[in-house]
Amino acid sequence: MNDTCTNSSINPRVELFQLIMYTPTFILGLLFNVMALSFLFFPAKKLSESTVYLIALIFLDTLLLFTLPFKIVSYHLQNKWKFGSIFCSILESLYFINMYGSILISLCICVDRYIAIQHPFMAPILRSTKKATLVCAVICLSISAGTVSTSQFHEESYNTTSSCFHNFSKSTWENTGLIITLEMIFFGSMMAMAFCTIQIVRCLRNHRKSENCQTHMTRAEKVVVTNFVTFLVCFTPYHVMFFLYFLVRNSIMHVPCHTVLRDILQVTLCWANLNCCLDAVCYYFVLKESAEGSLQNKVRNHQEESFDPSLTYQSVTSYQCS
């Protein structure tokens, strides 16, 4: 077999791509997450269901962003990781598990938006800040429990001179239950979000036609669609390649050189991390626009009107979609 197909080191071009992608993702991701939080808490306002989910999403995205500098360092060190196996396990757990926590919280935001817009009369029963907090707590506890599975990414002989974030053990790729669970989390979330997004857009368009409020409703549709497209574009390539690589590593599918597939997997994983930055960018502008809109409403109506960032415009909850 060709040497390039047995080489366990990282392709230099892949390493360069990761460095180029991770550096701005880390910097801009932190910047926009902090800015989004500033709009959520300053000035102080009553928490809504959507803001609870947004806070949880920002928290999980920030934890994942924290691991990126160490991920960059690990590629330069490769088989000479100097920070110890325990710290590596913690970083890997934060990186991989919080990715799926972010996926689940994104699903919750989409479902919460769907309930509020599609079923506004049932929303008071189905939605509350306590229920949103409970859902977030369950997700966080569940993904924390999942760290048990990620603690055995490497061989038992793993030591402080081994690699981190790559060269996972054969037993990891043979853990069919773990791989299938992760794939189901993503593809299940994707299908549920697709359904909710389609229904929300249909509902908004019907109301726009009947009420002739094209400007506001068009912006709302763009926010809903942009959130879903961002989710789809960021996570789909990685999970497709992840499943293909799983098939190759377990000899279910055969390719001439599996290291090429591994390099593509690393690139798509790097691409998936853009979601941490793009989520923050999207919700920052939504929150910024909502804050400006609320100020205008105060001046015009002489009363304070709350804004739910998951809905984009509070007026969309005032009708029932058929």
Q: How far apart are CA 313 and CA 99, in angstroms?
A: 29
Which of 26-30, 173-177, 290-294 has maximum average pLDDT?
Answer: 26-30
Q: 103 is written with which tokens? A: 């996926």
Query: pLDDT category, 29, cuts 50, 70, 90?
Result: confident
Pick the CATH number of 9-153+164-305 from 3.40.50.11030, 1.20.1070.10, 1.50.10.100, 1.20.1440.230: 1.20.1070.10
| Sign of the torsion formed by the C-alpha atoms of 121, 122, 123 and 125 | positive
Question: Cα-flanking dihedrals φ and ψ of residue 97, to 5°?
Answer: -70, -40
Question: Cα-flanking dihedrals φ and ψ of residue 299, to 5°?
Answer: -65, -40
309 by Cβ neighbours in 10 Å (0-12 / 13-18 / 19+) ranks as buried
Please compute the mean of the pLDDT values over residues 235-255 and round it to a whole number. Answer: 87
Secondary structure letter of residue 4 according to DSSP: G
How close are the terminal C-alpha atoms of the chain, in Å? 61
Tens of pLDDT, residues 42-58: 766 677 888 889 889 88
Length of the chain, in residues: 322
Secondary structure letter of residue 319 according to DSSP: S
The DSSP code sequence of 234-279 is HHHHHHHHHHHHHHHHTTSS--S-HHHHHHHHHHHHHHHTHHHHHH
Tens of pLDDT, residues 68-123: 888 877 776 665 677 777 777 778 777 877 889 999 999 999 999 899 888 888 88
Q: Which pLDDT value is given to residue 237?
A: 95
Residue 212 has pLDDT above 80, yes or no: no
Which sequence spans correspond to the domains of the chain? Answer: 9-153+164-305
Q: Which pLDDT value is given to residue 158?
A: 47
Q: Pick from 277, 312, 309, 289: which is nearest to 102 by CA?
A: 277
Which of 46-55, 78-87, 218-227, 229-238 has maximum average pLDDT?
Answer: 229-238
Query: pLDDT category, 216, cuts 50, 70, 90?
Result: low
